[in-house]
Structure 1
């Protein structure tokens, strides 16, 4: 494993002189740390009879791919988590079949496109999106796509969103929770949001680690263990209390991992809303504002996380996510089945809510 830890104090003038740009290195370190610390999912296989998965239509909105161009660009700079580096369409299909997943919405994940700069970042986004579109054609009915964007390059992202949505027929776009210390409520992103709002587009989000909280001296656990849920919550708060969510109400945001820590911080959010300047940015209060977003079940299909989420938002706002290849789809589906929810609620979470969000997915 490459040592991707950056020590800016060791560079002249405090600037990072590593071969990998600092913002790309930060995200690369996440991947390397996760590789060292997280268990590797078992290969996809049919569940045993004792753990048989009931046959229902399922749509997975949080399912990752590694396009060849993305893999090659990353490996020139860093190591990737083995399950990310060795991803293939065949492994994804096998995992989906083992869990009874009918459709997976594909997206890139960390380290994202921050490893590249300028025109290279734009070209990498295009290559990722064209590869996802190719898979949608090669496996009819099995895949959708949330397009990669070269943010924080807003101009390039506007062009790529138009190409991906209009030409490649992507189902939405993928945003990371923060970019170089700016969260999604920042006005930097408003020109992109104007267009996404006009289109009533789906904007799936994926967490990363903020610059403040990367390369912490905590070797026994990687950043994603704590920081991914935290950065999801930061960006939700940013969208709410900046007024951005209120200003662009027709963007259909999906937040990963049951909204991070937001359900557990509901009292703090509501207390903040009592401050007139904060409360004025919300559409109808904290809970109605949170209830306009959607939340996936990836790595949250357990009684604690889902119990908290479903006390804050209705089941109509929850969609199935698996986080493959970092977790198997079967264990996430089985976790959801073990929550004791009624059959209609399970059906809505596993497919109905996604079909309402993206009508082309209706069986």
Structure 2
């Protein structure tokens, strides 16, 4: 089992700016004023305690962090309901939340309602709007953001075109796919033309659940986010595995939200499904455990000993990455939850940053 540890890094300021020439001039002026007032040189140098505090500061990379571009929000609100956290999102709130939790870098993605309220060319345009807005945020806050680009599925041709533009022109770090589109889950053969290109690129594909067409508002007293989101994540993982799609495209790096949904608790049933040779032959590695261990999983809304403990019984720690699900949860809440899971320091550092740095090498400092 590979465990990655992180070199400590200073936390970038909220504006994302480096020190720069003006910062150096301000520092020189402050230094001159201090010396002029008789302050000793030793008082200006870092104390051992300060140096130790800076060196011990953990680096954190959040792979599950949402944004709501203004134009996307305007169109969405004219068609569907939007939850208050998504509706009220602003860049300032995102940066403040990251700073409060010591998040150095966040991977931005659009969450529910996704693009399903639009059709045809409008859906393609909205995907482009979202992706260009995320790229602009990364430019305004250097070093703080990456992105998993939106694509207009189930329009496969449009998704292919947007994937190429987002990855090549906007330099997105990967794509964001939802767990289902209508009654199509991610193992469906209709998506193979997109997967062929993503497999060639060894692309990262983060996923996010939604309310599937089959199972919306099944229990009126319980929001779909409570039960159906985790269930749809499990459906799509099983779809990818038992269709043979994941084995056919092994170089796509899939990340599943929320510790894989209900997956850890279905392991005996999945093992039973794989007993016939005709079924196990479809799986990456020929069995359920290697197939599941080939995917990655984030900790968003699963940063607790029960969910994380179950996931760690199923997959190597190297496959687990930090996620916060901001703005639906706060980053401090998720970071503190993870810290309370009883992990040893090396494992905690791997989940908070090392595994993400291995997945996205540009993030290494």
Structure 1: gaps spanning 5 or more residues = 1-53
User: Distance in 2 between the 1:243 and 1:79 partners?
Assistant: 36
Question: How big is each residue's C-alpha offset from its partner over 1:47-100, in whole Å with a ceiling of 9 and x where there is no partner?
Answer: xxxxxxx83100000000001121011111123111111110000000000000
Residue 56 of structure 1: aligned partner: 58
Residue 248 of structure 1: aligned partner: 249
Alpha-carbon shift at residue 147 of structure 1 (Å): 0.2
- For residue 154 of structure 1, the aligned residue among 156, 164, 182 is 156
Alpha-carbon shift at residue 317 of structure 1 (Å): 0.2
Partner SS for 1:87: coil
Residue 322 of structure 2: aligned partner: 320
Structure-to-structure mapping, 1:150-189, within 5 angstroms = 150-189=152-191
Residue 340 of structure 1: aligned partner: 342
Residue 144 of structure 1: aligned partner: 146
User: Distance in 1 between the 2:167 and 2:80 partners?
Assistant: 31
Structure 2: gaps spanning 5 or more residues = 1-55
Residue 72 of structure 2: aligned partner: 70
User: Distance in 1 between the 2:81 and 2:236 partners?
Assistant: 28
**8 Å Cα contact 2:107-2:148 kept in structure 1:** yes
- For residue 136 of structure 2, the aligned residue among 123, 134, 137 is 134
Residue 100 of structure 2: aligned partner: 98
Residue 22 of structure 1: aligned partner: none
Alpha-carbon shift at residue 221 of structure 1 (Å): 1.4
Higher mean alpha-carbon deviation, 269-278 vs 110-119, is at 269-278
**8 Å Cα contact 2:231-2:262 kept in structure 1:** yes
**8 Å Cα contact 2:293-2:319 kept in structure 1:** yes
Partner SS for 1:174: strand
Residue 4 of structure 1: aligned partner: none
Question: How big is each residue's C-alpha offset from its partner over 1:314-360, in whole Å with a ceiling of 9 and x where there is no partner?
Answer: 10000000000000000100000001111000000000000000000
Residue 222 of structure 2: aligned partner: 221
Alpha-carbon shift at residue 204 of structure 1 (Å): 0.1
Residue 127 of structure 2: aligned partner: 125
Residue 289 of structure 2: aligned partner: 287
Matched, 1:112 2:114: yes
Alpha-carbon shift at residue 254 of structure 1 (Å): 0.0
User: Distance in 1 between the 2:144 and 2:284 partners?
Assistant: 37
Alpha-carbon shift at residue 283 of structure 1 (Å): 2.2
Structure-to-structure mapping, 1:72-91, within 5 angstroms = 72-91=74-93
Partner SS for 2:103: coil
Residue 31 of structure 1: aligned partner: none
User: Distance in 1 between the 2:336 and 2:353 partners?
Assistant: 15
User: Distance in 2 between the 1:220 and 1:240 partners?
Assistant: 32
Matched, 1:269 2:270: yes
**8 Å Cα contact 2:80-2:117 kept in structure 1:** no
Partner SS for 2:328: coil
Partner SS for 1:253: strand
Partner SS for 1:61: strand
Partner SS for 1:204: strand
Residue 38 of structure 1: aligned partner: none
Partner SS for 1:152: coil
Alpha-carbon shift at residue 277 of structure 1 (Å): 1.9
Partner SS for 2:289: helix
Partner SS for 2:284: coil
Alpha-carbon shift at residue 276 of structure 1 (Å): 2.1
Structure 1 vs Structure 2 CA RMSD: 0.8
Partner SS for 1:340: coil
- For residue 301 of structure 1, the aligned residue among 300, 303, 324 is 303
Residue 233 of structure 1: aligned partner: 234
User: Distance in 1 between the 2:209 and 2:225 partners?
Assistant: 8
Matched, 1:198 2:200: yes
Residue 9 of structure 1: aligned partner: none
Alpha-carbon shift at residue 265 of structure 1 (Å): 0.6
Residue 259 of structure 1: aligned partner: 260
Show structure 1 runs of 4+ deviating over 6 A.
none
